[in-house]
Amino acid sequence: MSFALATNKEGPLKLDSRHSLSLKLLRVVLLAALAVGVVLSCAQIVFDAYKAKQAVSSDAQRILAMVRDPSTQAVYSLDREMAMQVLEGLFQHEAVRQASIGHPGEPMLAEKSRPLLDLPTRWLTDPILGQERTFSIRLIGRPPYSEYYGDLKITLDTAPYGENFVTTSEIIFISGILRALAMGLVLFLVYHWMLTKPLSKIIEHLVSINPDRPSQHQLPLLKGHERNELGLWVTTANQLLASIESNSHLRREAEDNLLRISQYDFLTGLPNRQLLQQQLDQILDGAGRQQRRVAVLCLGLDDFKGINEQYTYQLGDQLLIALADRLRGHSARLGSLARLGGDQFALVQADIEQPYEAAELAQSILDGLEAPFEIDQHEVRLRATIGITLFPEDGETTEKLLQKAEQTMTLAKTRSRNRYQFYIASVDSEMRRRRELEKDLRDALQRHELHLVYQPQVDYRDHRVVGVEALLRWQHPLHGFVPPDLFIPLAEQNGSIFSIGEWVLDQACRQLREWHDQGFDDLRMAVNLSTVQLHHNALPRVVSNLLQVYRLPARSLELEVTETGLMEDISTAAQHLLSLRRAGALIAIDDFGTGYSSLSYLKSLPLDKIKIDKSFVQDLLQDEDDATIVRAIIQLGKSLGMQVIAEGVET
C-alpha cells in the first residue's frame, strides 16, 4: 500500500509502504523478539547439550551396574562363553560400540566392537558430545571376599544421544521463532489499527485540500479519536488552515499588485527593464561559469511615431501588444523577452556557441515582421532595426550590454532601416561573410572551385614515400583561398559535407588508381573524415564501392578521424569505424594528444595508425618536453601494434 502525502508541481508525493510507521514498529518488534527468542533458545540448547552429556554418563553407569555380577562371575570362573553372552547382551543397546571383560595386562577374556553409527547429525553433535565415550567398572568379589578379578569396559557411541539433542533443539528454535513472529504480527495489527490507519485517513484528506483555499476542505474528526491526541491535532490543524488562508489571501493580493507594477509592463505584460536586468544578471552569471556566449538584441520599430500620427495612439498600443505576442513565438530560443519602453524591446539569447546564431535569430524576427498586422480593420506593416551585443566580447555586465545594444540599434537606424547590426563592426562583417560563404559553398562543387592537394608521407627508415594525404582546398573567385578550418564547419552545418566528402573520396581513389597504374603499387591514400561524415550510415557502402570501382586493394585507403571528434560519442564512433574497416579501409586517429580524454579508448576502437599532432613536432628539437611526449606516443603506438606518423615535420 502507498499513501499520498502532498501535491507539488510533479503531482502527489507517495509514501512507500516500506516506510510506514506500523511496518517500522513491526521490524523493531520482530528484531527484538527474534533476538530474545534466539538468546533463550540458545540457552535452552546449551542446557540440553549438558543434559545429553549427563544422559550418556547415566546410561553407561546403569548398563555397567546391570551386568556387573554376571561379568564378575565370568571372569572369576574364566568362563569365556559366559563372558561373550554378557557382551552380546550389552550390544542390544544401540549406543554400545565396544565392550571387553578381562584383567589389565593380560589377554581379554572376551571383547566385541562395531563401527560408529553413520547419522547425518554427527558433524554437528561430535564437537559437542564427543564422538564416543569410554566407561569401566572394577569386578570385585562379594564380601567378605573383596578380591579384584578384572575390569568391565564399554565404549558408547554418542550419535543416538546427539540425534535426540538435535531434534529437540530444532523444535525449541523453531517454536521460539514462531512465537516471536506471532507477537510481532499482533503488535503490528494493533499499532496499525490504533495509529497508522487514522493517520492514513488524515493524509488522504490533506491531499484534497486546495492550497489556495485550505479552509474549504477541513480535516474530519476521526471516530473514536475525538478526545485523544489525534483529535486535538485535527482540531488544531483546521484552525491553522483557516488562518493560513486568510493571511495568504491578503499577502498574495499585495504581492501580485507590487510585482505587476514593479516588474512587468502594464501594456504588453512583458517584463520591464528592471526585471530584465535581474534575469540578465542571472543568465550572465551562469554563462560566465560555463564560459558560454550570450546575445542581447535591442529591437526598435522604424518610424513608429508616424504610425501613431497616421492612425491613433490606441491603435499603436494594440500594435505593440500584437508585436509582443509575435515575439513570444521565439520563446523557445530566448532566455528573456522584455519591453524597454516606447517602441523598444529587448531579447536575450542565452547559451549560444557562435555569433551567427544571434544573427539567425535577428533575421528570423525581421522575416516574421513581413506579415502585416490587422488591427481594427487596418492592415499595418511594421519594420524594425535590431542592435546586437555579445557577452563577454562586448561587455560583462547587464548595463554595458543593454547600453551598447541600444546604441547599436540607434546607430543602425541612421544608416539604414529594417536590418540588424552587431556592436563590433568586425564581428558583423564576419557574420555576413560567413553567410555569404555558406551560400557559395553549396555551388562550389558545380563551379569546380574545390580541388585536392597531396602531402607525402615518408618512412624515416629508408626515406621512401609510403603514402599521401589528400587535402581539400577551396579557391573562392572573390575571396581567394578559404581555409578548411572555416569552410568545413560551414559544410557540416548546411549538410553539403556529405556530397563534398563523397567527391573527395572519389577524387582521391581515382588519383591513387593512376599512381598504382604507374607502378607505385604500395602507395596508400589518406583522407580526412569530419565528425558529421563519420556518423553517416551510407559511408561504409560508399567506401566499399569506390574500392571496387577503382580496383584498389584493401587497406590501401586510409581514413583519418580527429581525436576530439571521437570523444563526442565513443561507442557509436566505434561501431562506425568497425564498419569502415570491414569495408576495406585503414583507420587512423588524427591530431593525437590534443583531446582531453582517457587513453582507455585506444583499446576499444579499431585503429591502425596514430598521427602525432604537429604542435608536439614543430618544436621537437628545442623543447625537451615535446620530445618526451613524442617518444611516449611512439612507444604507445608500438605497444598497441599501431603505425605512428608525425605531422608537421616539414616546418
Each residue's pLDDT tens digit, 11-54: 445 555 666 666 777 777 778 777 877 788 788 888 888 888 88
Cβ of 82: how many Cβ atoms within 10 Å? 17
Q: What is the pLDDT of residue 226?
A: 61
Q: With respect to CATH, is domain 26-171 assigned 1.20.120? A: no
Q: What would the mean pLDDT of 481-493 be, rounded to a whole number?
A: 87
At residue 469 the predicted structure's pLDDT band, cuts being 50, 70 and 90, is: very high
Residue 1 has pLDDT above 50, yes or no: no
Beta strands in 569-642 (DSSP E): 586-592, 609-612
* Fold match between domain 26-171 and domain 264-425: no
Per DSSP (E only), the strands in 540-606 are 557-562, 586-592
Helix, coil or strand: residue 14: strand
pLDDT digits (tens, 9 = 90+) for 320-340: 999 999 999 988 888 899 999
- For range 405-425, the mean pLDDT: 82
Instruction: Return the higher-pLDDT residue of 167 and 141.
Output: 167
Q: How far apart are CA 404 and CA 426, in angstroms?
A: 15
* Residue 546 scores a pLDDT above 60: yes
- Distance from the first to the final alpha carbon of the chain: 75
Pairing of strands 293-301, 132-140: unpaired
Where are the chain's structural domains? 26-171, 214-262, 264-425, 442-646
Q: Could you please state the CATH topology (level 3) that the domain comprising 442-646 is classified under.
A: TIM Barrel (3.20.20)
CA 61 from centroid of its chain's CA atoms: 73
At how many degrees (to 10) do helices 398-415 and 273-290 cross?
A: 110
**Considering the domain 264-425, what is its CATH architecture?**
2-Layer Sandwich (3.30)
